[in-house]
Structures are given as structure tokens and as C-alpha cells.
Structure 1
Amino acid sequence: MKEHQIEQIISEYEPELRYAAFRYVRNWVVVDDIMQEVFLKIFLKFHSFRDPSKIKAWLYKITRNQCIDYLRSKVVKATVLMDDIEVLRYTTSENIEKAIVEKFDRERLYEHIEALPKDYKQTLSLYYFHDYSYSEISHVLSKDISFVKNKLFRGKRLLKKVYENNKVIV
């Protein structure tokens, strides 16, 4: 009975979960791998799930956490680094300098965002690094759009303070 329930839940929510995973990683091939992990976790953890009325939220949380784990993995960081090297190889020295400065600025932004509280970190990461709109962030986080706007406004203000305190004079 348990396996039948799990199969039914997976078949019902799979398209939504795939789309949610794609919104994080922006690569359908990677989504297939992530979904395999999600299905495995659903199967392994289903016995500990208690509230059937919150099944959708539970599934989205597993999917989101799996996507975040993937994005934090060394594989992604190494791939991004190798992609950057290939781009730099075929550009002029002026473009190389510009690309390096942009990469450095992006890394600093990432470090500063990671130092913020969780609500700000998630919202700002989706906004700056994944180019999500307010409504897309609202959907991914399952929060009201006013919550998203508020977190982005306050998060940007916090980032501004961090940057003002860490100004480097060249």
C-alpha cells in the first residue's frame, strides 16, 4: 500500500516538481538527476511524513533543498570555473580584465549575501544570481509577493551597508 501511495504522489506532482527544479538549476539534464534524488528521498522519508494536507509543501521543500545542494556542490563550482576559463581564452585582454572584475564583484556579492539571514539570502540569491522576477521568487518560496518585495528592499539596504563598511580604496 505504501509503495502505491508513493507512486501515486510522484506521478501527480512530478511535472510541478520538475518545473520548480528547473527554475533553480536552469538545465533539464541536471533536473533529471535531481528528480531521481528527490524521488529516492520521498521513498526513504515517506514513513516519517505525518500531515497529508501538507504533502505539496513537503515535496517542494525536498526538491528545493536538493537543488540548493546541487548548486552548492563542487561539481557546479568546477564547471562554472572551467566555463569561465574557456570564455577568457578567446577574448581580448581588455575583455579579460572586464570579465575578471565582473567575476570578482559577483563573488563578493555572493559572499555578502551568504552572510545575511536566511530570508534575505534566499530572496537575494534568486534575484541576483538566477535573475528571477518578484513573482517567480514569490512562487518558488511560496510566499506573498509583498513578502518578496519587502525582503528584497531590506536585503538590498543591508547589502548597501555591508558594501559601505567594506569600501576598498584603490
Structure 2
Amino acid sequence: MKPNPLQNQTYDYREEQLKRIIKQYGESILRLCYSYVKDQAKSEDILQDTMLTVYLQMDNLREKQAIKSWIYRIAINKCKDYLKSWHYKQIRLSQMLTFTASSNEKSIELKLIIQDETEQLIQEIMKLKPKHREVILLFYYEELSLQEIEQVLGINSSTVKSRLYQARQLLKSRLEKTGGSTFGR
């Protein structure tokens, strides 16, 4: 099969344009990302993810003059997505608890309480019916979007939302009954 010369031209053009974009906006986008996430390594990851999105969506940009605002919007959305992610929230909670524990004389006791509550939460999740357990695990632990869960499970989005709501309510009531865990408060 012969290679398509137009594909190579498009690829070369897009690659050259991306190089110009990175040279022109890379540092400012990196600073912007850092101002959101306060972590150099994660800022670099988000910058890279932003530039990949720019490269893949470059042909969809309608107004070439608006490229700066378009790139900034992509970067900001990626930062916000990261800040909303379960992974980020767990890291922040862990850092806060570590700081609290290290500054507190009862740090061993606090660590044991946290470990006990985490184990309790996991046990309660595993006791849920499979239809509730799977949406909790996919949403919070696998960090899939509602649309991705819909595709994975082959159910419509309203069913995903309903099951997620029901699972949260079940977990909340079970945790309150078993000793008033601080999860979810």
C-alpha cells in the first residue's frame, strides 16, 4: 500500500505548528498549571496532556486568532479536572492528615483511627450489591466519568446516576450505624 503524501504533509504541518505553540505558550501554560495545582511535576504532566489535546484537535480550531485563549481554556479545564479528581482529593486528605498527625502527639492513635475507618469503608463497599458496588468502584477508584461508566456497563446515564446516588446513601447510612465514621462528612 502506497503512503498518502497528503497525510504526511498534514502531519508535518501539525507537528511544526505544535512546536511553534509550545515555544510561544509553553512556559506561560506551565506557570498557569502550576498556579492551579501547586505541584511542578503534575503541572508538567498537565502541560503535556494539554499539548497532546491541542495537537489532536488542531484541525477543529475555527478561528486561528483565538489560539491563545483556546489553549488556555484547554489547560484550565485539565487543571480543574485534576483538582476534582478522586486521586487529587485523596492525596490532599493524606497530606493534611499527615501534617496533622505529625504535629500532634497522638499521631499513632490518629493513624490507627484513619486506618480503621478506611478498612470499615472498604468493608461496607464490598457488602453492597454488585450493581451498587461497581458504580462506586468505577467512579471513585477507577475515576471513570459517568459517560464512561455508561459505556462500560451498557446502561443509560440516568441509571448510572441513580445507582451512584443509591450506593452513596447506602454507604452513608451503614457507616452512621456502625459508629459514626467521618467519611462523607
Instruction: Name the Cα RMSD after superposition.
Output: 2.0
2:86 to 65, 74, 82: 74
C-alpha displacement of 1:70 = 0.7
Unaligned regions of 5+ residues in structure 2, if any? 1-12, 107-185
1:19 to 31, 40, 64: 31
Is the aligned partner of 1:44 residue 2:44? no
Counterpart in the other structure of 1:86:
98
Q: Distance in 1 between matches of 2:18 and 2:42?
A: 23
Counterpart in the other structure of 1:57:
69
Give the greater-gyration-radius structure (CA).
Answer: 2
Letter in 2 for 1:35: L
SS in 2 for 1:50: coil
C-alpha displacement of 1:84 = 2.0
Letter in 2 for 1:52: K
* Conserved? CA contact 2:14–2:55, under 8 Å: no
Counterpart in the other structure of 1:7:
19
Q: Report how many residues are paired.
A: 95
Q: TM-score, normalised by structure 1?
A: 0.52
Letter in 1 for 2:45: D
Counterpart in the other structure of 2:149:
none
C-alpha displacement of 1:21 = 0.8
C-alpha displacement of 1:92 = 4.9
Counting aligned pairs with the same residue, the percent is 28
Counterpart in the other structure of 1:168:
none
Counterpart in the other structure of 2:46:
34
Unaligned regions of 5+ residues in structure 1, if any? 94-170
C-alpha displacement of 1:74 = 1.0
